[in-house]
Chains A and B, each alone.
Chain A
Amino acid sequence: MALSVDMIRDCLDGAVPAVLATCASDGTPNVTCVSQVHFVDGAHVALSFQFFNKTRENLLANSRATVMVAHPETAARYRMALQYLRTEAEGPLFESMKARLAGIASHAGMSGIFRLLGSDLYRVIEIERVPGTELPVSAPRRNLLPALRTCLERLSQCTDLAGVLEELLASLAGAFDITHAMVLMLDARGECLRTAASRGYDASGLGAEILLGQGMIGIAAQQRTPIRITHASPEYAGGCAGTPEMMIPFPGLPDAGSRLALPVIGGGLLLGVLYVESPEDLRFGYDDEDALVAVAAQLGMAIRALGDAVGDRAQ
């Protein structure tokens, strides 16, 4: 069976640095470590472009590249034959890679040195499993599909927005074992996200505000893309700083190791952000992100369906 990127995406969380080989137009090879290989879809990845270097020069002259990645638990390695397509220096892909890189940089003691200049998008031509043995994978912390089912069933029984938010946070804790979570709603002017519900914090922080585009929560909303950070990163700490006139402190963990912000969209409209975090590094992987994207989508539809004032704002 041919491998696709989704089948090996646990190798793309950066625990084991990836290596990238390119060739100059005269055929001279070049090989270098690369901070980030980002899953785009089953046939595409994006690599972090951080420095103007030989790799850059080679790619512009010869679009073929080969990257090797390793699974952080099994030690299995894969070689991906790639074709460089283009570089994105703004937008959802760029912002989500930039936030992730900030976490990687901080973890590596490279804050201020690792800086994303662009997201290099590649088509994956072929994936080869490097022959060899591998270690067993440990049991997952939770089976995410039953957790998702439980959560969505509970949300579908709710009759008002308050109930939806309460059930959401309860099932994140109960079914997903995610004990620090909050929902922020976009205000009527579409400029500010306000904490509407939270769970797992000393102070609820209800009413605490974040501007659209500010911190990882504000960027996730503005770009309408999930942002996932796998290591503590001061640049994105607390998800944000509040608005200058903010009276209510943001309730987030001061030193979260893992953070995930997901835009809540219903009927095509941005409604808010679902934000979860954990003191642990590497707590949320690609599968957790997918499951919570589905939860956020259901939340968005529930908000619209229940015709709450927040949903009416967008009318």
Chain B
Amino acid sequence: MNAINREQVRALVVEVVTGIAPEIDLAKIAPDRPLRAQIDIDSFDFLNVIICLSERLKMEIPEADYGELATLDGMLDYLAKKSAGAG
């Protein structure tokens, strides 16, 4: 698997989140605060986002790691790091 850079991950996250919640404008989100505190998505939307990212990036995202994905920055850091680290 090729590592993808942070910008590509960001573009993917925007695509996936707005696919599930099209009314959201991620440009208005503070990247370092929990996503769910800023926008109206429920636990299942969030879960669907993670599953979709997992499929698109062909990487496993275990439940124990979900806490790292709470903020946009956290998501980008986690996904970019994992994508680089995976063999």
A binds B: no
